[in-house]
Structure 1
Amino acid sequence: MENYNEPEMGHEEVDGPIRLVITEDIRSYIYQAAKWAKFLSIVGFIVTGLMVMIALSVQSVMQSLSEIPAYAGLVALGSGVIMFFYLLLALLYFYPSYLMYKFSSAAKLAVLYGNQESLSEAMVKMKSIFKFFGVVTVIIISMYVLMVVLFSIGAGIAAA
């Protein structure tokens, strides 16, 4: 493959700080992204609320299930563990929703009023959203790799 170097764009020699130009197209894209982020954050808040309500109603559901023999294993797990799991999921769902809401508010303010500080805040929130999802993705991939290794070891022990 050929050694291809991208042409350097926007790297003119300038005295002083480099300034970015935000065109009307870019402003439009930021505004549209802010609207979608606000929608997704509101849906996230609703889902978080539902998860909390489910977590708080686990106790009564578990009492009802204790009367059905097929669910004895689930009941043995205990309502406290399930409640903790749902509250943890709700917290993990709330945080990116909150960041998206803050991004949306700051981005709209930046676009509508040309506020540089709001644009900086919006970009910080967007960075935090991607960082959060990146860390969660690494954790999930690590858990999958660990499960494959443990299942392989278990299968090797069972075959011996």
Structure 2
Amino acid sequence: MENFTLDSDVSEDFGLNPVILGFLKTTAKWAKFLSIVGFVGVAFMVLVAFFAGTIFGMLGTFGGQEAEALGTLGAVGGGVMTVMYLAFAALYFFPVLFLFKFASNLQKALKTHNQIALTEAFSNLKKHYTFIGVLTAILVGIYGLFFVFAILGGMLAAFA
């Protein structure tokens, strides 16, 4: 295996043709746009998390026995919803951050022809996809468990 060292962290064209450089420039713009939209989504999740307790707690103020029971349940459920939304916001934040860092470093690398910035950009893209891949694998596993338990529950209900 050959070992390569960078003589300089500045390269005129990274050894890439103009078409590929154009694709990278467009990719950086879209990645930055998507990451900014992602940050806005995270901010909305955090806002909903902090207002969930209040909204669910107000369910009991509409009157009636059912509404009163909903209000009690809502106060407890609001706390649970707050924690859940904050957890989802935290999970959503990291891949968005990695995507933003990828876009920023790629734009910097393309403007300054900096090899180190290009390497850092693709390192962040790798982190982004690794995070998404691990999260997807975990969710597929959870869905599989739900499926197995649903079948077992159905079998138990059929024999009862």
**TM-score if structure 2 supplies the norm length?**
0.82
- Report the equivalent of 1:50: 44
Matched, 1:65 2:52: no
CA positional deviation for 1:18: 9.4
Task: State the match for 2:156 in structure 1.
Answer: 157
In the alignment of these two chains, the number of paired residues is 147
Give the 3-state SS of the residue equivalent to 1:66 in structure 2: helix
Aligned pairs for 1:19-30 (under 5 A) are 21-30=15-24
Aligned to 2:33: 39
Over 3 Å off, 4+ runs: 15-20
Contact 2:56-2:75 at 8 Å conserved across structures? no
The reply to whether residue 101 of structure 1 matches residue 82 of structure 2 is no
The whole-number CA distance in structure 2 between the counterparts of 1:22 and 1:28 is: 10
Task: Give the alignment's Cα RMSD to 1 decimal.
Answer: 2.4
Shift of 1:108: 0.6
Runs of at least 5 residues in structure 2 that lack an aligned partner in the other structure: 7-13
Matched residues in 2 for 1:74 and 1:154: separation? 26
User: For residue 143 of structure 2, what is the aligned residue in structure 1?
Assistant: 144
More helix by share: 2
State how far apart, in whole Å, the 2-side matches of 1:88 and 1:107 are. Answer: 29
Deviations 1:76-123 (A, max 9, x none): 752211100000111111111111111011001111111000000001
Specify every segment of 5 or more residues in structure 1 that has no aligned partner in the other structure, as ranges: 1-14
TM-score by length of 1: 0.82
Distance 2:88 2:94 in 1: 10
% of aligned pairs identical? 35
Quote the Cα distance in structure 1 between the aligned partners of 2:151 and 2:61: 38
- When residues 74 and 37 of structure 1 are mapped into structure 2, their CA distance, relative to the original with a 3 A threshold, is farther
Which residue does 1:112 correspond to in 2?
Answer: 111
Aligned-partner Cα distance in 2 for 1:16–1:105? 28
